[in-house]
Each structure stands twice: as C-alpha cells, then as structure tokens.
C-alpha cells in the first residue's frame, strides 16, 4: 500500500510505501526542498526533521544544506540545474510561488508558478509499491513570446548524508553491453549520458548509490531509472560537504526546445527506489515493478523463439526458411522468426532498407505460404523489421530524400550504409505505421523483432527553427507507432532490439514484450552481460539464444549443455543453424527445450537471487524462487587448474523447510542450503554447468 499525506502547517508532503518514505517541503521562498528518502517515517516524524545548517558561512557557498526538488537557476544555487529556461528578455533565473496541489488517481501534483513570467510547473509523484515515479510538466500560460527550454529534467534526487558514497552503473559497447561498474563517487560532478539518439550500448539510464558498504544481500541502496529510449543525461554531484544529489532527464547538453504560448511540455518518468536489503533486494523490487507496472502483458510468459539470422544471414528464401521452421518445431520452438533479408533488394546491408515489400524472387507467392506452414507446425510467425532506417540505395530514399535527419550544407554520414528516418515528421511516422499495419494484418504476423542499427548523426531538419525537438519527437513517434500497432493488433508481440542492447530501458519495455540484450550470443560473454542486465530488468524481459559452436562472433567453443543453461537464465531462444546440428544435438536440444517449458514460470516470474558475481569467480550462479519451487543455475567458465572454486550458498529460502530435488529425490534442509549450499562436483576446470530444481516439502503435521 502507498499513500500521500500533507502537513499544511509545515507545507510538507510525505509519500509512504510499504518499506520506505519520501518527504519534501516548501521553504519560505516557495522552493521545493528535499527532506527525507529512506526508511519509513510518519508524517509527524518527517515534520520533525530540522533543516541542516549551512556548513560554511560564506558568500561563496549556498545557504543551508537542504537540496532542491527542482534544481533551477536562480538565487544562490551553484549546483547542476535540472530545469533551465530563458525568457524572451534574456532572464534565466526562476522564482516560484506556490499555486496549490492535488492528488488524483494516486498521483500527487504540486503546482508552482513563476512570480513574473508566464511559466507554470507541476512536480508529479506517484508510488507503485516501493518505487516512486516522478516527472515534470511545464506549461506556457502567456500569449506572447515563446520560452526557450534549456534543460528539462524529470526529477532530482538526494541521498541522505553518509560517511561514503559509491556509484553503481553500467558501461559497455556493441556486443559487450551491461558491464557492471561499482566505484567510489568522487567529489564533483559525474555525468552519465547518451548522445546517440537511443539509450545506448555504452550506458544505461539508471544508477544505484550506497555508502560503500552495501552488498548483494545487505545495506542501504538508493537507485533511480529513467523511462526513456532516446538520448539522456544523469548528473551526480558529490559536494565538498559530502552531500550527494543527482538530476536526470531526456536530451543531452546543448539541446534545447521552445515552449510556445499555451503549450505544455511533459518529461518521461524518472523512478526511484530505496531498499535496505542490498543490491539483490533492490533488483528484486525493480523486477517486480517492471513486471507489474511497466510491461504491457505483465502476467504473460514469453515463448521459445527460433530466429533464423545466424543460420542464414542474408541468404533468405522460402525453401530455406521452411526447412529451418520444420526443425525448430521438432525441437519444441513456439515461435519462428525470419530475420533480415526477406524484402526489397535486401541481399546485404547496402541496399533495400526502407522498401518493405516482399522479395518475390525469394518468396514467389509472398510470405503467405511460409506463415501458413509455420502456423500449421504449431508455432507463431514473426519477422524482423527496422522501420526507423533507410539505405541511400533504396526506392524510398530516392523518392523521399528529405525524410532523413540532415543539416543544410553538410554531408549525410552513413553508418552501416544507412541513414536515420525523421520519425518526428508526422508523414514519416504515418508511413511506418501503415506498412507495419499491413504487414501484420495481411501476413498473419504474430511477432515483430523491431531493430534500430545506428546512432543519430546530422540530427537536424532543414528549415525547422526549433530543431532540438526532433531528439524527443523521434522517440515519442516511435512510441506512438508501437502503441497504435498494439491497439490495432492486440495479439501482436514485439521484441525491442537496437543492434542488440542499445534500447534496454523502462520506456521501451512499456511498449514491447522483451529486449534483445546483445548481438553477442557467446555463452561465456553472456554470463557477464546477463549479470549486468539483471541489476534492473527481470529475466522475463531478456531474450537469450542458444547458437552454434564455435560462436560466430567470438570463435569460442562451449558445450551445448552450458550454452543452454546460460540461455535458460532468461527467455530461452534458439538461433543456431539447426540444419548442421547432429541428430544427437537436436535430441539434446529437444530435452532442454522441454525442461525450460517446465521451469519457465519460475524463471520468468519468480524472485531472482544472484548467488555469485561472475567478475569475482569463474563459478557464478543465479537462483529463481516462485512459491514452493526453486531453480538454480550454476555456470562455471574455464579457470586455472587446481585453483579452488567456492560453491555459492543459496538464498531466500525458509531455513526450517525441507526441499526435495525434483530430479534425484534427494531432500535438503533449508538451513543447510543457506549456509553450505549444494555439493556440485563439477568435473575438470573447463566449461561446466548444472541446473537444479527444488520443491519445498509440505510441513508435516
């Protein structure tokens, strides 16, 4: 249960969640000031929190130490502004007057107006369980000149004073996404950002902060995540006094927008979560929030996909796809997805992108026969699409060269031989929706793999006097197309892909069903990628394929069992060339697919426990618990011979309960599992893995 309370005498608001409290107040100048974010408090207790005195009596420092809820230019504020505006006469400072508040459908809106200029701001708060969603709404209340918006962050957050400060975030690149970093926060400003037009492979729009002592199983953690799939910026400031604050929102530095008279401007949600049970407890709360309040089909389990890309590459035709579909059905796949190469002149990545008509040389009778056979085999039918891009060598570009992002008198940079279509233009987004709508409706398409394979360059629109908006307009238009498709085709399911994990964020997951976490399907690398991904997002959103060995990207060989066990830690999929697999390999795959179908509810909907960090040990493990059922995956990568490897203990179990191994019948005491783990006996020092299923025994009377 969550609630919003107000103390009129102290002009203080309190949001209470099951395990935390969040409080802020208005100061004498009507500026919203942060009061508390952490352990549960009552309204009376929050009102008793005295403002911190100024650490130094100096004209070079800010008076007092209470942080602003909406840091903006104006007065003696020298931190990072989350809201920056410039009025027509050049004024940039803001001065607020309180204009009231209301709670509607569980959302608190606190209204502020500038004391002189026609600008109104609404600070919005909503609690879902322990997650607090925050966003900002601005409105131009005048009739004359526009207001320039220099920066419009969704929210600013404050960590309580602690002796230390440590930042957890991710860093990576294409095919090496979600690399987890945990490092001491320096004094000064630390900026995490993407300037690429997508949330990016290089960083993810979330962070966690602690005092340096939190572990996987204990300690206070403050975390936030931005629900946005385009460029973004989060800046964390650790002051010389030890105060830690951060502000974040869409767009990056140097991008600005114009707010016209009568117009409103809304930011995406920037959600925050306080947890007192370490990084593991933080992740489980985020997972629950994503499943229950973000995903469009929260109770649904994701099917086992077979994707043809690594089997065929560009060599796509009806006969080859039919052969793969038959084999995929034999091993138990539930969804067959044909990847790139089925349309236009698309026989490589240099031509045809944007011409979304079936290649009749490859599919003489269109996609109908393939879709019908896939459905006859008992599988759903899916196709790969990349609606936001175009090859210069395409009929679409020759007809509409003005539809791409570009700048006057500047070259159009091609990356992967393609340009970015300007979805901020209504005619472009409308064109995309119409052909997607026809594709899904006319061919019985059950699933789209929506890809996006390059960053923005020359992000302009010749003749547009407010070009900064395209950074936001593009993403919102993509959201709009996805929303319209789902409304028109309620059974359609969509995977978010951006050259792998370039769009793994809460914004895209509100409109898609799963994320392709990386183009890297090497099982050894995936252990690390999936560990970082799991910090915020649940296993039921993470597509993971079993592909060929040696791996096509890395050339590394790994046993089929290990490859399956790694992929079974998420949404299991198949992506190898099944026509080259031996009869024994196909039989093994069939067994693992059948096993995954049994454990799928536990993995995709259960509570996840990371039992060991893959960066710290060659033996990592992840455990899932749903009701009385437990699944544990142990994954060991090669290590030095003779070096001892510690077997992780289990977590989240009742120590007084008994658990029976579903496969062997052996019974284990919960207390023993929590303190000593399981005796694995993994052979050798190379790749090895085990999947263990446990079920809690009924209590004897």
Rg (CA), the chain: 27
Three-state secondary structure call for residue 335: strand
Give the span between the Cα atoms of 403 and 597, in whole angstroms. Answer: 45
Report the length, in residues, of the chain.
701
Cβ 275 vs Cβ 221: under 8 Å: yes
- Residue 275: count of CB within 10 angstroms of its CB: 24
Look at residues 224, 270, 311 and name the one whose alpha carbon lies nearest to residue 124.
270
3-state SS class at 373: helix
DSSP reduced 3-state for 498? strand
Of 153, 182, 160, 155, nearest to 244 by C-alpha is 160
- Would residue 451 show up in a list of annotated catalytic residues for this protein? yes
Backbone angles phi, psi at 573, to 5 degrees: -140, 170
Helices (H), 332-416: 368-376, 395-399
**Which one of the listed residues 451, 522, 548, 607 is annotated catalytic?**
451
- Coil vs helix vs strand at 600: helix
- Estimate the crossing angle of helix 470-488 against helix 426-443, to 10 degrees: 30
The CA-based diameter of the chain, rounded to the nearest angstrom, is 83
Backbone torsion region of residue 217, taken as left when φ is above 0, otherwise alpha when ψ lies between -120 and 50, otherwise beta: alpha
Q: Hey, which bits of 27-146 come out as E strands?
A: 32-38, 83-86, 96-104, 107-114, 119-128, 131-140
Does the active-site annotation cover 30?
Answer: no
431 SS3 class: helix
- How many other C-beta atoms lie within 10 A of the C-beta of residue 678? 20
Pairing of strands 96-104, 107-114: antiparallel
Q: How far apart are CA 304 and CA 379, in angstroms?
A: 10
567 exposed, middle or buried (CB, 10 Å; 0-12, 13-18, 19+)?
Answer: buried
The residue from 519, 522, 548, 607 that is catalytic is 519
**Rounded to whole angstroms, how far apart are CA atoms 638 and 686?**
4
Sign for the CA dihedral angle at 505, 509, 512, 516 comes to positive
Any idea which residues carry the catalytic annotation? 451, 519
């Amino acid at each position: 249960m969550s609630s919003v309370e107000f103390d009129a005498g102290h002009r203080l608001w309190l949001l209470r969640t099951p395990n935390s409290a969040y409080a802020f107040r208005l100061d004498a100048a009507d500026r919203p000031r942060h009061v508390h974010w952490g352990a549960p408090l009552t309204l009376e207790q929050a009102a008793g929190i005295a403002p911190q005195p100024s650490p130094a009596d100096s004209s070079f420092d800010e008076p007092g130490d209470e942080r602003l809820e909406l840091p903006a230019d104006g007065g003696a504020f020298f931190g990072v502004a989350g809201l920056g505006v410039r009025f027509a006469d050049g004024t940039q400072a803001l001065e607020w007057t309180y204009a009231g508040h209301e709670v509607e459908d569980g959302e608190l809106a606190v209204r502020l107006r500038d004391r002189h200029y026609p600008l109104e701001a609404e600070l919005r708060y909503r609690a879902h369980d322990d997650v607090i969603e925050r966003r900002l709404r601005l409105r131009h209340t005048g009739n004359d000149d526009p207001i320039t918006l220099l920066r419009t962050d969704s929210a600013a957050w404050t960590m309580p004073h602690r002796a230390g400060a440590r930042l957890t975030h991710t860093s990576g690149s294409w095919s090496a996404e979600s690399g987890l970093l945990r490092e001491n926060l320096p004094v000064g400003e630390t900026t995490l950002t993407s300037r690429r037009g997508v949330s990016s492979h290089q960083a993810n729009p979330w962070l966690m902060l602690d005092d340096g002592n939190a572990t996987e199983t204990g300690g206070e953690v403050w975390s936030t995540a931005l629900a946005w799939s385009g460029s973004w910026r989060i800046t964390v400031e650790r002051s010389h006094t030890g105060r830690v604050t951060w502000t974040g929102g869409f767009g990056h530095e140097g991008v600005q927008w114009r707010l016209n008279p009568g117009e409103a401007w809304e930011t995406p949600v920037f959600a925050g979560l306080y947890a007192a049970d370490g990084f593991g407890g933080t992740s489980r709360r985020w997972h629950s929030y994503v499943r229950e309040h973000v995903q469009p089909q929260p109770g649904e389990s994701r099917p086992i996909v077979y994707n043809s890309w690594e089997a065929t590459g560009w060599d796509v035709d009806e006969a080859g796809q039919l052969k793969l579909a038959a084999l995929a059905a034999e091993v138990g796949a539930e969804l067959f997805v044909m990847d790139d190469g089925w349309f236009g002149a698309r026989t490589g990545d240099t031509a045809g992108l944007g011409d979304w008509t079936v290649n009749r040389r490859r599919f003489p009778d269109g996609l109908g026969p393939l879709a019908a056979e896939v459905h006859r085999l008992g599988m759903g039918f899916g196709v790969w699409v990349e609606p936001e891009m175009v090859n210069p060598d395409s009929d679409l570009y020759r007809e509409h060269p003005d539809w791409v992002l570009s700048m006057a008198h500047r070259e159009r940079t091609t990356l992967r031989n393609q340009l970015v279509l300007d979805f901020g233009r209504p005619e472009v987004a409308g064109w995309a929706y119409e052909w997607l709508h026809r594709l899904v409706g006319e061919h019985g398409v059950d699933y789209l793999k929506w890809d996006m394979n390059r960053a923005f360059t020359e992000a302009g629109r010749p003749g547009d006097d407010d070009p900064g908006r395209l950074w936001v307009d593009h993403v919102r238009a993509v959201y709009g197309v996805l929303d319209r498709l789902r409304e028109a085709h309620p059974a359609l399911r969509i995977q978010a892909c951006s050259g792998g994990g370039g769009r793994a964020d809460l914004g895209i997951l509100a409109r898609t069903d799963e994320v392709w976490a990386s183009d890297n399907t090497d099982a050894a690398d995936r252990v690390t990628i999936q560990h970082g991904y799991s910090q915020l997002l649940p296993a039921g959103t993470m597509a993971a394929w079993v592909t060929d060995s040696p791996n096509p990207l890395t050339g590394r060989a790994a046993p089929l069992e290990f490859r399956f066990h790694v992929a079974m830690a998420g949404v299991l999929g198949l992506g190898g060339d099944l026509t080259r697999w031996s009869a024994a390999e196909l039989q093994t795959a069939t067994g693992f697919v059948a096993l995954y179908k049994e454990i799928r509810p536990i993995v995709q909907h259960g509570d996840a426990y990371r039992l060991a960090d893959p960066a710290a040990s060659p033996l990592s493990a992840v455990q899932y618990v749903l009701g009385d059922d437990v699944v544990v995956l142990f994954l060991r990568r090669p290590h030095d011979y003779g070096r001892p490897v510690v077997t992780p203990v289990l977590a989240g179990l009742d120590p007084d309960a008994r658990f029976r191994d579903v496969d062997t019948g052996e019974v284990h005491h919960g207390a023993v599992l929590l303190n000593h783990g399981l005796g694995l006996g993994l052979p050798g020092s190379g790749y090895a893995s085990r999947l263990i299923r446990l079920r809690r025994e009924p209590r004897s009377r």
